[in-house]
Structure 1
Amino acid sequence: MKKLFGLLMLCFSILSFAQVKTPFTGKRSFNILEGFGGSGTPAYYVDVKKNGDVHFGYVQVNQADGTETSEDINVGKYHTGVMKVHFKKYNEKWNFKFNKEKIYFTDEKGNIMKSEDCCSVAETESSNCECEGELFQ
């Protein structure tokens, strides 16, 4: 029984250290919803910690009265699959995938979403743009 317990602990320890390498560490800002820019628009970011934890957040400043609203959500360890974010203050639920350079809105299966809300000014003729954005330092 002690040997079995020891073996299980060893396996658990090995699995907990076997992490996927993060594409970067530090904070990167992004804008996916092109049509919603403005003076009161939230500035979204993803922050990858050295230990592999991924945080999504935003900071929004009300231009009328200067009040600041922010939220920072730990979504767990980095992995290459879909990461789910639920911003509670505005009840926003998003699915994301990201790499070193880009971030993508996805469905629950990891397929990149398409929407007219993701079209840039240059793409106004299109109503079905991929929801992706660059990650800026």
Structure 2
Amino acid sequence: MKKGYSLLLLFISILSFAQSKAPFTGKRSFNIEQGASGSGTPAYYLDVKKNGNVHFGFLQINQADQTETKEEINAGKYNPKVMKIHFKTYNETFYVKFNKEKIYLTDEKGNIKKSDDCCPVSELASINCNCESIIYK
């Protein structure tokens, strides 16, 4: 009985680890609020490490004096449901989820947000677009 229980526990552990494996490793950039691009807009990126930790960061260059503002945080192990990002520089907190191709701005429960600010420039007349971005290599 103990062997069977141990095997079942091991199987569940392996299954849960496989489900939370990051969809890629390496550094990728994204731009969720596409309509807001322009001078001084932060360039956001994520960096998935081989150990499963996910780092999020941004780089912002002031167009007037060329000063750089940047920050990178470790958001913890990859979670396919929702990840919390808190940048101290501007006291910003985001919730996101991502897969191999796209990243989504979500609420705390992982529901994809909709906003006018997320509409691409080509669709400025649109309202309440999904807050998503292609993840660029």
**How far has the Cα of 1:22 moved from its partner?**
1.1
What CA distance in whole angstroms lies between the structure 2 residues aligned with 1:116 and 1:105?
Answer: 13
Deviations 1:7-39 (A, max 9, x none): 9xxx8xx78x94622100000000010121112
Deviations 1:39-90 (A, max 9, x none): 2111100100011000010011111111111000100001211100011111
Q: Identity over the aligned pairs, expressed in percent? A: 64
- Mapping for residues 107-118 of structure 1, pairs under 5 Å: 107-118=107-118
Aligned residues: 125
What CA distance in whole angstroms lies between the structure 2 residues aligned with 1:122 and 1:71?
Answer: 30
What CA distance in whole angstroms lies between the structure 2 residues aligned with 1:126 and 1:45?
Answer: 26
- Structure 1 residues 127, 18: closer, same or farther in 2, change over 3 A? closer
- Mapping for residues 92-111 of structure 1, pairs under 5 Å: 92-111=92-111
What CA distance in whole angstroms lies between the structure 1 residues aligned with 2:104 and 2:44?
Answer: 13
Question: What TM-score do the two structures reach when normalised by structure 1?
Answer: 0.85
User: Mind listing any 5+ residue stretches in structure 2 that lack a counterpart?
Assistant: 1-5
Moved more, 18-27 or 107-116: 18-27
**Residue in 2 that maps onto 1:129:** 129
- Structure 1 residues 120, 18: closer, same or farther in 2, change over 3 A? closer
**Residue in 1 that maps onto 2:3:** none
**Residue in 2 that maps onto 1:4:** none
Indicate the RMSD between aligned Cα atoms, in angstroms: 1.8
- Mapping for residues 1-137 of structure 1, pairs under 5 Å: 18=17, 20-137=20-137
Deviations 1:89-134 (A, max 9, x none): 1111100000000000001111100000000122222211000000
